[in-house]
Amino acid sequence: MGQDQTKQQIEKGLQLYQSNQTEKALQVWTKVLEKSSDLMGRFRVLGCLVTAHSEMGRYKEMLKFAVVQIDTARELEDADFLLESYLNLARSNEKLCEFHKTISYCKTCLGLPGTRAGAQLGGQVSLSMGNAFLGLSVFQKALESFEKALRYAHNNDDAMLECRVCCSLGSFYAQVKESMKIALQHGDRPLQALCLLCFADIHRSRGDLETAFPRYDSAMSIMTEIGNRLGQVQALLGVAKCWVARKALDKALDAIERAQDLAEEVGNKLSQLKLHCLSESIYRSKGLQRELRAHVVRFHECVEETELYCGLCGESIGEKNSRLQALPCSHIFHLRCLQNNGTRSCPNCRRSSMKPGFV
């Protein structure tokens, strides 16, 4: 079956599918898959089969076609097709409740080089990752992913994606609410504080600052009571973001200063990075260059201390969407740097790196 005939049969299947003749559409697409030699057509029909089986609740079949689509995308050697196929693979695993695999495939999507499809599919990748984190009850990371997906939806005027994110946020809120009920019944103060933080973050993401502030205050009170300094940092960071949203930058800086002191006491570099990054944006908007430079310097010092940079080119890891490669010794580099380096051992510790893994 040639390219033109493949295209005609795909369109025929779509017409049948849209007229609710699903089984007939599947038969047409399956026949195309068996007989067509056109790689582009095969990729497209595999996408149709993945979507159809997803909507029919046949998730194992969905996964089967998603795996075949990955192989086809690799043959096409096109980054856009590879991104789409990895997203379908992530969604398939999400439907089958294989949440760790979902997160792994979503990270692969985000680690692919910049593509034309990235702006369109990035929100869906974040949504799928958020659903996976929610399935694992990792509430904070779930909310961060949903917020990213919502930003994609707003930036691209994608009403359907926004609707799907709101549905997931509803499930998120229900799960956190149930967790809060259990925490109250059992007198679990740490869990109560975590739930309050999640509630506060939800309201902040919705722009409901009047509700977010007291939730952060309650979380802060419990975190102080139980001696959780890292939890206090998270609460203060949320408060600072609320003040930034209200354009009360001096109050935001006060909250950041308190959080920074706690983060330094604990020695948590990741929290310090987040706080320096937020401080940079505030001082940049205020036009205070001396303070801005001080936080930029401290930010890069934290990056060096946490070794969040490529040991070959020296660039920070995470500032750009670059594909990374982890060696068996756990040292991480930009993939392009390792390829250009041409060595078979780790540039840092010189251990053998015959079988590296991808991040």
Q: Give the model confidence (pLDDT) of 70-113 as tens digits.
A: 888 888 888 888 888 999 999 999 999 999 999 998 988 887 76
Distances (CA, A) of 222 to 181, 204, 261: 16, 19, 19
154 and 249 housed in the same domain: no
Handedness of CA 159, 141, 273, 221 (dihedral sign): positive
Flag whether 66 is in a domain: no
| Residue that finishes a domain, picked among 144, 164, 185 | 185
Domain count, the chain: 3
- 200 SS3 class: helix
* Predicted model pTM: 0.65
Q: CA separation (Å) from 17 to 6, 24, 46, 52, 132?
A: 16, 8, 14, 8, 29
Q: What's the Cα-to-Cα distance from 53 to each of 30, 62, 64, rounded to whole Å? A: 12, 5, 10
Whether 342 has a pLDDT exceeding 80, the answer reads no
Positive or negative torsion for Cα 144, 147, 324, 313: negative
Q: Is the pLDDT of residue 177 over 90?
A: no
Residue 352 pLDDT level (bands cut at 50, 70, 90): low
Contact 63, 57 (CB under 8 A): no
Are both 338 and 274 inside the same structural domain?
Answer: no
Joined together, the tokens standing for residue 187 give 């007198």
Rounded Cα distance, 213 and 230, in Å: 18
In a domain, 62, yes or no: no
Same domain, residue pair 215 and 163: no
* CA quadruple 213, 216, 222, 227: dihedral, nearest 10: -130
Same domain, 244 and 325: no
Q: In this structure, is residue 11 part of a structural domain?
A: no
Of the candidates 210, 237, 232, the one whose C-alpha atom is nearest the C-alpha of residue 221 is: 232
20 within some domain? no
What range does the domain containing 223 cover? 187-305
pLDDT tens digits, 183-204:
888 888 888 888 898 889 888 8
Which pLDDT value is given to residue 118? Answer: 60
Cα–Cα distance for residue pair 17/8, rounded to 1 Å? 14
Encoded tokens for 309:
């940079």
Q: Give the whole-angstrom CA distance, residue 190 versus residue 170.
A: 23
pLDDT, averaged across the chain:
84
Q: What residues does 319 pair with on adjacent strands?
A: none
Residue 45 lies in a domain: no
- 144 is a domain residue: yes
**300 lies in the same domain as 325:** no
CATH code where residue 206 lies? 1.25.40.10
The pLDDT of residue 184? 87
Nearest to 297 by CA among 312, 313, 283: 283
| Count of residues making up the chain | 359
Q: Quick one: DSSP state of residue 333?
A: E
- Name the residue with higher pLDDT: 351 or 149: 149
Contact between 303 and 280 (Cβ < 8 Å): no
Q: Which segments of the chain does DSSP mark as H helices, in order?
A: 3-18, 22-35, 39-55, 59-76, 79-95, 99-111, 118-135, 139-155, 159-186, 189-205, 209-226, 229-245, 249-266, 269-286, 289-305, 335-341
Domain membership of residue 178 (yes or no) is yes
- At 252-300, the pLDDT tens digits run 999 999 999 999 888 888 888 889 989 999 999 999 999 989 988 888 7
Q: Per-residue pLDDT for 236 more than 60?
A: yes
For residues 153 and 130, what is the distance between their CA atoms, to the nearest angstrom? Answer: 14
Over pLDDT 70: what percentage of the chain?
88
Q: Based on the fold, state whether residues 135 and 214 are members of the same structural domain.
A: no
Instruction: Please identify, among 185, 207, 230, the residue that sits at the C-terminal boundary of a domain.
Output: 185
Residue 153 domain flag: yes
Residues 202 and 221 in one domain: yes
- CB distance 102 to 94 below 8 Å: yes
Return the structure tokens found at 211.
């509700």
What six digits make up the tokens of 340? 């250009």
262 and 339, same domain (yes or no): no
